[in-house]
Structure 1
Amino acid sequence: MLSRVAPWLASRRDVSDLAGMSVRTLDGRDTDALKRLAQQDPVTNVFILAHLRAAGTAAPTSGGAGIFGVFDDGVLVGACWAGANLVPVQLDPALAGAVAEAANRSGRRYASAFGPADSVLALHTELVERGHRAHEVRAEQPLMIIDGPPCVEPNPGLGLGNLADFDRILPACAAMFEEEVGYSPFLGGREFYSRRVEGLIRQGHSLVHLNDAREVVFKAELGAVTSDVTQIQGVWMNPLFRGQGLSSGYMSAVVEQAQKVAPVTSLYVNGFNTRARSTYERVGFRQVGTFATVLF
């Protein structure tokens, strides 16, 4: 049961409403309820819907990741993925304290929290109260979609990544990761991140252009995929080719490939990255929400 009233909860819910509230880790019996909850916003919740599509269950994974569910008199009203990262699912900010308490009790270390800005920032506030410290908070990340043809001619050089080029694609992915978060994805060893990149290639979700010299010029991934929505992640242009006006054509080609998989293509971008935002808008993306990311 909820042990205290979070600041968000006190301002938005009557204290009498707390009597039927509880938080627990979801199991297989909760799969359909979680799917219904997430499908209230299939763009925002593409991460968890992609997980359910792949795993087929809301139960904890073999690696120990789980999903906290918040229940009101037995009805699932919010959730939060808790693996390497925290990812809220239709989580009212008023309930962030309950989820933060569960996350804190789990003893896990989280690399980040990402998702809808109001939920993520509320989680951050509650986690800070419990001794968790972030080294960076990105509070404004436009969530953008395109659901029609791109407005720029796609670059025909972009294609699916090939395992034969894994030794070239992996360093490009690692370079993107380090630029984005400030440290190497290999800090804890190469195996986990290498498996992730290999898996994306095998699934046909790695998009890359290698030139005649077998250099990766541009790459991106379809990081989360459902039958309705894909989310583009890991966009990276080789520094040797930046400033040449190539980004729009490559992003259009990414959209072209993504729309073979699902009708809606999404991404989120740092608010301060005005150059990238301008590129996405030129291609035809429009903002439909705001994400935030907290890096721990």
Structure 2
Amino acid sequence: MLSRVAPWLASRKDVPDPPGISVRTLDGDDTAALVLLAQRDPVSNVFILAHLRATGTAAPTSGGAGVLGVFDDGVLAGACWAGANLVPIQLEPTLAGVVAAAANRSGRRYASAFGPAAAVLALHAELVDLGHRAHEVRPDQPLMTISEGPSVEPNPGLALGNLADFDRILPACAAMFEEEVGYSPFLGGREFYSRRVEGLIRQGHSLVHLNEAREVVFKAELGAVTSDVTQIQGVWMNPLYRGQGLSAGYMASVVEQARKVAPVTSLYVNGFNTRARATYERVGFSQVGTFATVLF
């Protein structure tokens, strides 16, 4: 069915949507179809599968975030989460044009787009033509997984985060965020990001090592979780402890904790971060795909 999409690539802006192709925001009746679509690649699509696991529906959230579905003769052929971020779901690059147009019509401002590289970069190209400008494009982010025990000795100091330590964990999370994207997560207020960190702690998805002085030495989160896959996010080492060869042991402990939740542990990393990639490989991760991130 998708073969008929080819005539309206990015170079054919004047051509209307092809017969049979339509885009709309999914609702609760589309939940089963979206689950089936996302389960074609449970590692790449862990973000939306975790959302569906938590909410039980493809319908928009109370905050207005939703899923744009692309239908080919009434069959869900691809989709894209459209909230604070854009996250393609089994989206062929040739479908990026209609998704970008729908996302643009919503009037939302998107902080980023992330996910499988081909789809994200195609979305970015379409959004540029619609006037959206990115301040950074990271086109090569290896998607890595491990489905067995770690290859190095875990650091026994890593433990689940505790709400009693929230005031110590939150600044570490904010420091990681600012290092990664270049601005503070508290721009526009502290409430949203603080609730996100608190929620991860309450869910048992915050992993942290505090030293005797109750300073955060290392932390990471299980940012997206299903019964099949976890995705590690927010890996951060206190600058005072960097360069001491501690990262592999901490990551091994993260894997041990993640394997209590799901059999496959995943993450994605900037391609230029050769030290982190080497650490993950030493722990036992191997590349299974490539993500990209566009920061708007």
| Aligned residue type for 1:224 | A
Query: Cα distance, 1:268 vs. partner?
Result: 0.1
Mapped to 2, the partners of 1:267 and 1:112 lie a distance apart of 17
Matched, 1:237 2:237: yes
| Aligned residue type for 1:98 | V
Mapped to 1, the partners of 2:226 and 2:236 lie a distance apart of 23
Matches within 5 A, 1:21-170: 21-170=21-170
CA contact (8 A) 2:170 2:197 kept: yes
Mapped to 1, the partners of 2:292 and 2:16 lie a distance apart of 31
Mapped to 1, the partners of 2:157 and 2:178 lie a distance apart of 25
Aligned residue number for residue 173 of structure 1 = 173
Aligned residue number for residue 251 of structure 2 = 251
Mapped to 2, the partners of 1:200 and 1:112 lie a distance apart of 21
Mapped to 1, the partners of 2:53 and 2:8 lie a distance apart of 33
- TM normalised by structure 1 equals 0.96
CA contact (8 A) 1:78 1:91 kept: yes
How many residues align? The count is: 291
Query: Cα distance, 1:90 vs. partner?
Result: 0.1
Mapped to 2, the partners of 1:102 and 1:67 lie a distance apart of 11
Deviations 1:113-139 (A, max 9, x none): 000000000000000000000000000
The answer for unaligned runs of 5 or more in structure 1 is none
Mapped to 1, the partners of 2:141 and 2:172 lie a distance apart of 23
| Aligned residue type for 2:121 | L
Query: Cα distance, 1:16 vs. partner?
Result: 11
Aligned residue number for residue 227 of structure 1 = 227
Deviations 1:76-104 (A, max 9, x none): 00000000000000000000000000000
Mapped to 2, the partners of 1:22 and 1:9 lie a distance apart of 19
CA contact (8 A) 1:161 1:204 kept: yes
Mapped to 2, the partners of 1:8 and 1:40 lie a distance apart of 26
CA contact (8 A) 1:160 1:201 kept: yes
CA contact (8 A) 1:9 1:95 kept: no
Mapped to 2, the partners of 1:58 and 1:138 lie a distance apart of 29
Query: Cα distance, 1:7 vs. partner?
Result: 2.3
How high is the sequence identity, in percent, across the aligned residues? Answer: 84
CA contact (8 A) 1:88 1:115 kept: yes
Deviations 1:233-292 (A, max 9, x none): 000000000000000000000000000000000000000000000000000000000000
CA contact (8 A) 2:8 2:17 kept: no
Mapped to 2, the partners of 1:283 and 1:16 lie a distance apart of 50
| Aligned residue type for 1:225 | V
CA contact (8 A) 1:9 1:94 kept: no
CA contact (8 A) 1:8 1:95 kept: no
Aligned residue number for residue 287 of structure 2 = 287
Mapped to 1, the partners of 2:108 and 2:174 lie a distance apart of 24
CA contact (8 A) 1:146 1:285 kept: yes
Aligned residue number for residue 7 of structure 1 = 9
| Aligned residue type for 1:247 | S
The answer for unaligned runs of 5 or more in structure 2 is 1-5
| Aligned residue type for 2:9 | P
Mapped to 2, the partners of 1:89 and 1:33 lie a distance apart of 12
Q: What secondary structure does 1:256 align onto?
A: helix
Mapped to 2, the partners of 1:17 and 1:65 lie a distance apart of 24
Query: Cα distance, 1:188 vs. partner?
Result: 1.2
- TM normalised by structure 2 equals 0.96
Mapped to 1, the partners of 2:117 and 2:174 lie a distance apart of 26
Mapped to 2, the partners of 1:6 and 1:273 lie a distance apart of 37
Mapped to 1, the partners of 2:53 and 2:293 lie a distance apart of 24
Aligned residue number for residue 188 of structure 1 = 188
| Aligned residue type for 2:82 | A
| Aligned residue type for 1:217 | V
Mapped to 2, the partners of 1:188 and 1:149 lie a distance apart of 41
| Aligned residue type for 1:56 | G
Mapped to 2, the partners of 1:272 and 1:84 lie a distance apart of 26
Mapped to 1, the partners of 2:281 and 2:82 lie a distance apart of 32
| Aligned residue type for 1:7 | L
Q: What secondary structure does 1:19 align onto?
A: coil
CA contact (8 A) 2:230 2:266 kept: yes
